[in-house]
Amino acid sequence: MDFWANHWWLIFPIGWFIFGGLGMWLNYRRSRDAMDIMKSYAAQGKEPPAEILRAASGEAGPDEWRGRPWRRHCHGGPLGEWRRVFIFGALATGFWFAAWQGGGGAQEGFTIVAVIMSALAVGSLFFAVLATVWKDK
């Protein structure tokens, strides 16, 4: 129990490792399922629909969504910008709370990180509002 109290920060790389593996596994399942469907069409001697071919090649949507659609959703456009606002806002809130609690001389360090996270949250809010107002048309 003492190990996790001293190494609490390990939850972040462990979480990234777990979610990265989950994402790769889901991509594998998607491509495997698309290949199974294409094999069934080939066994029947039919041409698979264009949607299945696009899904198998990774082009699951319109032309502007080429590649992995979740990357565009998470990292671009208004939704990606608003996601950053909430992430940096939550981190800033957590570090402000830790700085407020004080303890062991870490208050200054938590305050510095809280100020940085707050600045990132405000900057992200600015870009989220701009991305929402001026969407790609």
Check whether residue 38 and residue 61 sit in a common domain.
Answer: yes
124, two tokens: 């992200």
Same domain, 59 and 15: yes
Q: How many domains does the structure of the chain reveal?
A: 2
63 with 81, same domain: the answer is: no
Distance between CA atoms of 106 and 124, rounded to whole angstroms?
A: 27
Q: What is the pLDDT of residue 131?
A: 85
Same domain, 128 and 80: yes
* Domain end position, chosen among 67, 94, 110: 67
> Same structural domain for residues 91 and 59?
no
pLDDT in tens, 37-79: 889 998 999 888 888 777 777 665 444 444 555 555 555 678 8
Task: Name which residue leads in pLDDT, 105 or 137.
Answer: 105
Could you give the angle at the alpha carbon of 53 between the alpha carbons of 51 and 57, nearest 5°? 115
Alpha-carbon radius of gyration of the chain:
22
Q: What is the pTM of this model?
A: 0.48
Q: CA–CA distance from 13 to each of 9, 18, 56 (Å)?
A: 8, 9, 31
Both tokens of 101, joined, read 């609690």
Is the domain of 60 the same as that of 7?
yes
d(CA 7, CA 13): 11
State whether 34 and 62 are in the same domain. Answer: yes
If one compares 58 and 5, the residue with the highest pLDDT of the two is 5
Host domain of residue 29: 1-67
Mean pLDDT across 125-137: 82
